[in-house]
Structure 1
């Protein structure tokens, strides 16, 4: 039997920190179901984010536009993970990047006021917030290290190893942008690895 969105959310939250019984009903009250189409934005550069989403189904890319007008992808988020311009959300400052649906997606969304109220009053939500911040910091540090120490081919092999279920869901242009290379360079890497 397939889990519904709230069951998936609770399952993922339980992996982070055991949900107290009192919080289960609260989760249903503060998370609202939202559907987005391919191309819809969850966050926009320059806007102060008002929510965090849990991805029930779908896929998102985080990107900014560089000074040459090129799109630079910094992250992807898929099912059973959270989507947010988190630093901007917490600091109440404009987002530095966009978050866009790469396919039709279903989310469970919590608004800033509900999130802050939970964090200020509940050990459970304090632990969830801390663990999420730690996770995002680790992802950022590992990504920065990979750009400083690894080749583009190494980064591609690692990306494929860590994201086998994203094959066919992300086009070559977006993967190349995430790796910090041109699509032609990615084609050469795939050819060298006999992956074309």
Structure 2
């Protein structure tokens, strides 16, 4: 089985095949590893995220608590994703979100300081960083637009289409929270789709 670092380095190579072996090995020397249990927090609301975490194995959920005390899920991140509240990470501001493990999770971490060292000393990684940041932005924009342009049913169908691998790994309450719908509405949507 591949180690967390091997999974990350393979992913970097797929995105930026031009990065040299020497650069990869310098990058790898900066990585640290974190083993988290189910329910452990990678990041808590109000804290400054000191490292970005690549998920080698496991599943995490990003959430916040609204003014009425409801916990709202804003994202699920699994193998191959980065766990981060990116705008807060790059500005080193306190996070507005918590990131909690839904399963035992292995993270490959790179500290904020080491990331900047890499950008200054290994310029090829700037392209990789830009492409990762663009992917994070596209996902955030898609989520915002799903609430503007899609019905609850369309958001549910979209989730099934793009995240079928997560379907049996997350609870119904977390899914409802992510989709912005009540449990009864989800039941109705599922019943309607079952009869089509």
| Aligned: 1:115 with 2:119 | no
Aligned residues: 194
Match of 1:182 in 2: 182
Looking at structure 2, the residues matched to 172 and 194 of structure 1 have their Cα atoms a distance apart, in angstroms, of 17
Moved over 2 A (4+): none
Summarize deviations over 1:42-79 as a string: whole Å, max 9, x none: 11111110001111110011111100010111111100
| Partner Cα separation in structure 2 for residue 188 and residue 148 of structure 1 | 21
- Partner SS state of residue 194, structure 2: coil
CA displacement at 1:27 relative to structure 2: 3.0
* Separation in structure 2 between the aligned mates of residue 151 and residue 97 of structure 1, nearest angstrom: 25
TM-score (norm 1): 0.94
SS at match of 1:117: helix
Partner of 1:59: 59
Structure 1 position 121, deviation (Å): 2.2
What residue in structure 2 maps to residue 140 of structure 1?
Answer: 140
Q: Do the aligned partners of residues 122 and 24 (structure 1) sit closer, same or farther apart at CA in structure 2, a change above 3 Å counting?
A: closer
Task: Say what the alpha-carbon RMSD is for the aligned residues.
Answer: 1.3
Gapped regions of structure 1 (runs ≥ 5): none
**Deviation by residue 1:18-57 (Cα, 9 ceiling, x = unmatched):** 2311122223311112100111111111111000111111
Q: Answer whether contact 2:27 2:118 (CA < 8 A) is retained.
A: no
TM-score (norm 2): 0.94
Answering whether residue 44 of structure 2 is matched by residue 12 of structure 1, we say no
Which runs of no fewer than 5 residues in structure 2 stay unpaired? none
1:157, distance to aligned residue in structure 2 (A)? 0.5
Query: Residues of 1 paired with 2:171 and 2:93: CA distance?
Result: 31
Specify the SS of the correspondent of 1:193. helix
